[in-house]
Amino acid sequence: MNPTTPDTLVEHLRGALGPTAVLTGPEDTDGYTADWRGAYRGAALAVVRPGSTDEVATVVRLCRKAGVSIVPQGGNTGMCGGGVPDASATQVVLSTTRMRRVREVDPANDAITVDAGVTLDAVHEAARAHGRMFPLTLGSQGSCTIGGNVATNAGGAGVLRYGMMRDLVLGLEVVLPDGQVWDGLRGLRKDNTGYDLKQLFVGAEGTLGIVTAAVLRLFPETPARATVWVALPDLGAGVALLELLKKHAGPRLGAYELVSRTALDLVLEHTVGAHDPFGQSHPWYGLIELEDADDAARLEEVVEAGVGAAFEQELVTDAVVAGSPAQRAALWGLREGISEAQNAVGASLKQDVSVPISSLAAFTADVDAAVEAVLPGVRRVTYGHVGDGNLHYNLSKPDGADDAGLLDASDALTKAVYDVVAAYDGSLSAEHGLGRTKTAAAAAYKDPVELALMRTVKAALDPAGTMNPGVLLA
Ligand code: FAD
Ligand code: 2HG
Ligand code: ZN
């Protein structure tokens, strides 16, 4: 066979994996070269769909020989363009979507081991079948994969009680940039034998290797749930309510999400079947979920006492408690439908920021003023995970304008937001990662020592720079 070069790589990949696992040509690769928002469209030399860890290692070795870079991709639901190739048509997209095996469920160890391409929904289902629960929940869970969740250190609504993906991973299997397989699939709670290497790959966005499998923590099921949608007079009340909820609910507080009226309006306008639980408009809303193993009566008491106190302290102005699973789903639909609803009105600038919870209200007032000064009337689609100090401070074009004005002002708007984030010692990416979108901003705003350390890690693991170049690090 010819030596492996960029010109012969496709032939070599087909030889190793079989012809159907290697896609070329836009008719077959289009679904892998653009992101779901339509914000990124690249082109690939090929899309490969290995079916096993050994096949992933083979692809990595062949690409390394040819000097071709690899873009790992799972469900392609990412927010920052990290899973799509650039426009050069010289990169290989490695899709994990054929790696869909639940390898083992070990209820006694509260652990599940799955291939990287298993969807988050499928993990929930497998855990449920064994009387357990996996707590990561995302609006994208029908499509996003465990590999993608690990690579982005995904967050979502359950972080308040259970932590981010980083806190839920016990072990990983990773194909390293030189093609070696690191078998770190240990289901141990305690292992103090050196650096915690798995954590290097969590949040690395595919720049240090390809996650091929993971051991994840499972939890007891919490079938007793109370879900409450409240109207808030302002954001400060929303933050004060968090304190009150913690006091009344303690560890039963499973989620506490914030939704601005602007965000709710988009959902009501663009989501079939969505309706406003209240007769009149309020500036902010909170979605509260309490959970317990079995004590539904206790949850009712907590809701009554907590929401009652919130009314007394004028932190909430209206409230509705879900009376059935269908009502619960409808309330969650109002929250989880925001991404898609915002997408329906055209381009958006997604700013996924965090600040200390105590600063949320002041930060929002300052950042509102800063973006208004750049583009008067810009729509602030603000919502997020208040319990984590994480706001999705997303911007859409002003009412009646077209996308061009928003896109022309995007650099100035982004800078305005990040300057205020920096002033509050916040983060410019709380949960979605840097991808291609925020790499330059991170280089400008992150501590230089931190950046240098990150580059040292990258150079040590991927000296040839073939793993997802242009993502995470400039
Ligand atoms: P992809 O989009 O395919 O890839 C994302 C990144 O991970 C890329 O850099 C890619 O190169 C890398 N990658 C993928 N698989 C691997 C692998 N096996 N090994 C190494 N690198 C890999 N995110 C949140 O954090 N919280 C939310 O609440 C949330 N809600 C969402 C709601 C909606 C409606 C949508 C569309 C998205 C949401 N997301 C959310 C974003 C997204 O779903 C997550 O970032 C998710 O973890 C991405 O998984 P994926 O499999 O789609 O990864
Ligand atoms: C959410 O919390 C997700 O709904 C998506 O993180 C946020 O679309 C977004 O910007
Ligand atoms: Zn989020």
Q: What is the pTM of this model?
A: 0.97
Mutation test residue for ligand 2: of 287, 339, 342, the one with most atoms within 8 Å of CB: 339
Q: Is 151 in the pocket of ligand 1 (CB under 6 A)?
A: yes
Q: How many domains does the chain have?
A: 3
* 22 lies in the same domain as 43: yes
Q: Does the residue 304 lie in any domain?
A: yes
In the DSSP assignment, the letter for residue 34 is B
* 189 lies in the same domain as 261: no
Q: Is 81 in the pocket of ligand 1 (CB under 6 A)?
A: no
Atom of ligand 2 nearest to the CA of 431: 6
Answer yes or no: are the C-beta atoms of 151 and 203 closer than 8 Å. yes
Among 56, 78, 95, give the residue marking a domain's end. Answer: 95
* 234 lies in the same domain as 332: yes
Q: Is 339 in the pocket of ligand 1 (CB under 6 A)?
A: yes
For residue 394, what pLDDT is reported? 97
* 216 lies in the same domain as 355: no
Q: Is 171 in the pocket of ligand 1 (CB under 6 A)?
A: no
Among the bound ligands, name the one nearest to the CA of residue 201: 1
Atom of ligand 2 nearest to the CA of 432: 6
Instruction: From first to last of the 474 residues of the chain, give the pLDDT tens digit.
Output: 689 999 999 999 999 999 999 999 999 999 999 999 889 999 999 999 999 999 999 999 999 999 999 999 999 999 999 999 999 999 999 999 999 999 999 999 999 999 999 999 999 999 999 999 999 999 999 999 999 999 999 999 999 999 999 999 999 999 999 999 999 999 999 999 999 999 999 999 999 999 999 999 999 999 999 999 999 999 999 999 999 999 999 999 999 999 999 999 999 999 999 999 998 999 999 999 999 998 899 999 999 999 999 999 999 999 999 999 999 999 999 999 999 999 999 999 999 999 999 999 999 999 999 999 999 999 999 999 999 999 999 999 999 999 999 999 999 999 999 999 999 999 999 999 999 999 999 999 999 999 999 999 999 999 999 999 999 998
* 336 lies in the same domain as 399: yes
Atom of ligand 2 nearest to the CA of 335: 4
Q: Does the residue 432 lie in any domain?
A: no
pLDDT digits (tens, 9 = 90+) for 202-236: 999 999 999 999 999 999 999 999 999 999 999 99
Its domain, for residue 174, covers: 102-220
Tell me the CA–centroid distance for residue 376 and ligand 2, in Å: 24
* 411 lies in the same domain as 279: yes
User: Ligand 1 atom 10: the closest Cα is on which residue?
Assistant: 83
Among 201, 220, 239, give the residue marking a domain's end. Answer: 220
* DSSP letter for each residue of 134-199: -----TTTTT-BHHHHHHHT---TTHHHH--HHHHEEEEEEE-TTS-EEEE----S---SS--THH
| CATH code assigned at 22 | 3.30.43.10
* 77 lies in the same domain as 122: no
User: Which residue ranges have their beta carbon within 6 Å of ligand 2?
Assistant: 79, 139, 338-339, 350, 392, 394, 431
Please report where in the chains the tokens 């009150």 appear, as a residue: 244
Q: Is 153 in the pocket of ligand 1 (CB under 6 A)?
A: no
Atom of ligand 2 nearest to the CA of 392: 10
Output the furthest CA–CA distance in the chain (Å, rounded): 79
Among 163, 185, 220, give the residue marking a domain's end. Answer: 220
Q: Does the residue 376 lie in any domain?
A: yes
Q: Does the residue 431 lie in any domain?
A: no
* 80 lies in the same domain as 14: yes
Identity of residue 332: W
Atom of ligand 2 nearest to the CA of 157: 2
Atom of ligand 1 nearest to the CA of 431: 25
Q: Is 205 in the pocket of ligand 1 (CB under 6 A)?
A: yes
* 88 lies in the same domain as 117: no
What ipTM does this complex have? 0.99
How many CB atoms are located within 10 Å of the residue 250 CB?
A: 10
Mutation test residue for ligand 2: of 343, 379, 392, 394, the one with most atoms within 8 Å of CB: 392
* 300 lies in the same domain as 327: yes
Tell me the CA–centroid distance for residue 149 and ligand 1, in Å: 5
* 138 lies in the same domain as 260: no
Q: Does the residue 263 lie in any domain?
A: yes
For residue 144, what pLDDT is reported? 98
Atom of ligand 2 nearest to the CA of 383: 2
d(Cα 118, Cα 146) in Å, to the nearest integer? 6
Among the bound ligands, name the one nearest to the CA of residue 351: 2
| Cβ burial 367-377 (10 Å sphere, 16+ → b, else e) | beebbeebbee
* 337 lies in the same domain as 270: yes
Phi/psi of residue 238, each to 5°? Answer: -60, -40
User: Ligand 2 atom 8: the closest Cα is on which residue?
Assistant: 339
Answer yes or no: are the C-beta atoms of 141 and 154 closer than 8 Å. no
Residues ≥6 apart with Cβ < 8 Å to 297: none
Tell me the CA–centroid distance for residue 391 and ligand 2, in Å: 9
Let me know the angle formed at the C-alpha of 290 by 315 and 231, rounded to the nearest 5 degrees.
30
User: Ligand 1 atom 46: the closest Cα is on which residue?
Assistant: 149
For residue 474, what pLDDT is reported? 86
